[in-house]
Amino acid sequence: MVTPTCRETHDDPYASPTTWREWTQFVDTAPPCLPGTGPWSTDERLDYHSRFVILSTPTMAKISLTLRRLMILNRRHNGTARRGLLISGPPTTGKTTTLQQLGRSFHLADRARRHAPGEHLPVVFLSVPPAATPKMLVSELARYLDLPITARMNQARITDIVCATLRDLTTQLVLVDDIHLLNTRTRSGAETSDQMKHLSERIPATFVYAGVAIEESPLLTGNRGAQLAGRFKMLRNPPLAHGSTTQRTAWEGLIRGMDQALRLNAHREGALVRHAAYLHLRTGGRIGSLSALVREAAIAAILDGTEKITKALLEDIELDQLAEHPPPPPSAKRR
């Protein structure tokens, strides 16, 4: 759970980071601040629970350590086949959050290491557009960088401008979300995959791709998939399990972090932890579903004046369809 010191942010600190300005704003926006002296107003507490805290899981820690090693491995790499990382998992397991927090941590650490001011962009964050083409992908990068491209420019020209800019900005980490949208069985999808490989060879940075069930997607099939698999290692970000003692301890640690961060007038410390097993049953161990459930319950408790989260309140809240109607396990599908 991250709770850095609060500081003033931009007018719209919650904008989706789709440009370098929005990414920088995301990096500079501290997570929700715990209250200091004096009571919070109702609106302040509603806003606080709307954002709430960022949960750190054992998988996130493993991904962070692996990425750090890969970036050191790539630091003095002279060839084009730099090592990369694939983050795969089911929906609502926190892949995008993990990707953004990795980038944010590296960006802040890189900024702290640099003493001389200047134009520098250590991290780029990009989401694959639906039905992407090579030109569409590189144009999205150009838009992210706020580069003055025109409709008359061809793909090669835009690619040259983007790569030169990222080299000048000494970008070291390129994060690409929704990689599962690339269907390499189609011509445009295959060509876009080639374009991403081309970018990773021209830009001296570590590339991290995240997506839903990458191992089951066409991305790793055929000769193109073999090249990608030969350069990228894969880490899976599954729902958190609750079977062993270690797994239950990790889950309860997450719930305890949320419990301590709640700002409800009638809340007693540990009340949420008592429902840890129930919360896992309701959410299937999916971080996104867990966060949504607890945040909505806290907001409901403020609005109805009870100021505490009970099991009855949790049961009264509808979750996303994936949590309410989870798919059968793989063994059941085979049967």
Q: CA 314 to CA 213: how far, in whole Å?
A: 29
Pair 20, 145: CB distance under 8 Å: yes
Three-state secondary-structure class, residue 179: helix
Predicted confidence at residue 227, as pLDDT, reads 83
Pair 30, 6: CB distance under 8 Å: yes
Lowest mean pLDDT among 65-74, 86-95, 103-112, 223-232: 223-232
Lowest mean pLDDT among 68-72, 113-117, 187-191: 113-117
Higher pLDDT, residue 214 or 78: 214
Q: CA 123 to CA 128: how far, in whole Å?
A: 16
**Average pLDDT of the residues in 207-225:** 88
Q: How many CA atoms lie within 13 A of 274 on its CB side?
A: 9
Pair 314, 280: CB distance under 8 Å: no
Question: What is the full DSSP assignment across 191-223?
Answer: HHHHHHHHHHHHS-SEEEEEEETGGGSGGGSHH
- Average pLDDT value over all residues in the chain: 86
Q: What is the DSSP letter of 103?
A: H
Give every CB contact of residue 229 below 8 A, 6+ residues apart in sequence. 220
Asked if residue 104 has pLDDT above 80, the reply is: yes
Q: What tens digit of pLDDT does each residue of 278-299 get? A: 999 999 999 989 999 999 999 9
Give every CB contact of residue 150 below 8 A, 6+ residues apart in sequence. none
Asked if residue 36 has pLDDT above 80, the reply is: no
Q: CA 200 to CA 296: how far, in whole Å?
A: 41
Asked if residue 276 has pLDDT above 90, the reply is: yes
Q: What's the predicted TM-score (pTM) here?
A: 0.85
**Average pLDDT of the residues in 121-131:** 92
Asked if residue 124 has pLDDT above 70, the reply is: yes
**Average pLDDT of the residues in 256-277:** 93
Asked if residue 169 has pLDDT above 50, the reply is: yes
Q: What is the DSSP letter of 308?
A: S
Predicted confidence at residue 39, as pLDDT, reads 78
Q: CA 88 to CA 208: how far, in whole Å?
A: 11
